[in-house]
Amino acid sequence: MMAPELQQTERRRAALLAYELFEQRGEEVRLTDLIATGRMPRRRLEELFEDDDDLFEATVELWFEPHVAIMEEVVAADLPPNRKMYEFFVRRFRVNRSRYRSDPAAFAMMCEAGAARFERVRSFVDLADHYLCEVIAQAQADGFFPGLEIDQALSLINQMVTNYTLPEALTYIDERLSEEKLARIIDTIFVGLSGEDGGARGINTIRIAT
């Protein structure tokens, strides 16, 4: 049995190969496909991965690797609350935008694969929510988002910035997304997000003004 460190290194190597094949072929890569390349022994691959789903998960982990590093760095940073939240989103947005613009077709295919196998991506989405909750809690300690539970603030903020966190949004509105707009959204969140009812829901019916 391989040492844990070597196993992790070899899984990453195999995932890199699978991602390379995915970009070339535009379809999901299975263990048999990796074996057919001859670049890694069958026995080694079967030791590293339980099945095709396990290989796909390793590829997804590789995709999210820079995102996880960014979130950990930002959460630990000593920044004002609004700046911290902006960095939390904008740095990951830059990663996705760079990937998209370097190869739009491959990026779109990866988004489609992730949507089709969302159960294998969910853990990374949950991890992002976990880190965002930490950012929200730090902001609340400074008096922001009054009257909201962390989960409420999480849901509202995610909905407000969804175009900057969903990779597939880049495939159809890339030119309409910008770091400046994201900064304005974050500043607006910090100015007005609270549990107070501002009256937007109003009354049950709408009357024509006379």
The whole-angstrom separation of Cα 69 and Cα 79 is 17
Tens of pLDDT, residue by residue over 156-174, are: 999 999 999 999 999 999 9
pLDDT value at position 24? 81
Enter the DSSP assignment of 161: T
On whether residue 92 sits in a domain, the answer given is yes
Tens of pLDDT, residue by residue over 11-23, are: 889 989 988 888 7
Same domain for 81 and 31:
no
Tens of pLDDT, residue by residue over 121-148, are: 888 999 999 999 999 999 999 999 999 9
Q: Pick the closest to residue 31 from 44, 45, 11 (CA basis).
A: 45
Tens of pLDDT, residue by residue over 25-83, are: 777 888 999 899 888 889 888 888 888 888 888 888 888 999 999 999 999 999 999 99
On whether residue 27 sits in a domain, the answer given is yes
On whether residue 54 sits in a domain, the answer given is no
Q: With cut-offs at 50, 70 and 90, classify the pLDDT of residue 198.
A: confident
116: three-class secondary structure by DSSP: helix
Range of the domain at 1: 1-49
Q: With cut-offs at 50, 70 and 90, classify the pLDDT of residue 1.
A: low
Q: Pick the closest to residue 57 from 111, 129, 121 (CA basis).
A: 121
On whether residue 208 sits in a domain, the answer given is no
Same domain for 161 and 67:
yes
The whole-angstrom separation of Cα 144 and Cα 54 is 41
On whether residue 170 sits in a domain, the answer given is yes
Average the pLDDT over 193-200 and give the result. Answer: 87
pTM for this one?
0.86
In the chain, the number of structural domains is 2
pLDDT value at position 168? 94
Report the CATH number at residue 151: 1.10.357.10
Q: With cut-offs at 50, 70 and 90, classify the pLDDT of residue 187.
A: very high
Q: Which helix (H) or strand (E) holds 51?
A: none
Q: Which residue has the higher pLDDT, 117 or 202?
A: 117
On whether residue 158 sits in a domain, the answer given is yes
pLDDT-wise least confident of 28-32, 130-134, 176-180, 201-205: 201-205
Same domain for 23 and 95:
no
Measured from the Cβ of residue 72, the count of other Cβ atoms closer than 10 Å reads 12
Measured from the Cβ of residue 165, the count of other Cβ atoms closer than 10 Å reads 18
Q: Which residue has the higher pLDDT, 93 or 115?
A: 93
The whole-angstrom separation of Cα 107 and Cα 165 is 14
pLDDT value at position 56? 87
Q: Pick the closest to residue 91 from 126, 66, 111, 64 (CA basis).
A: 66
On whether residue 177 sits in a domain, the answer given is yes
Degrees, nearest 5: CA angle 104-110-114? 145
On whether residue 6 sits in a domain, the answer given is yes
Q: Is 2 a residue whose pLDDT tops 70?
A: no
Same domain for 166 and 84:
yes
Average the pLDDT over 114-119 and give the result. Answer: 82
Q: Hey, what are 51's tokens?
A: 């099945």
pLDDT value at position 130? 97
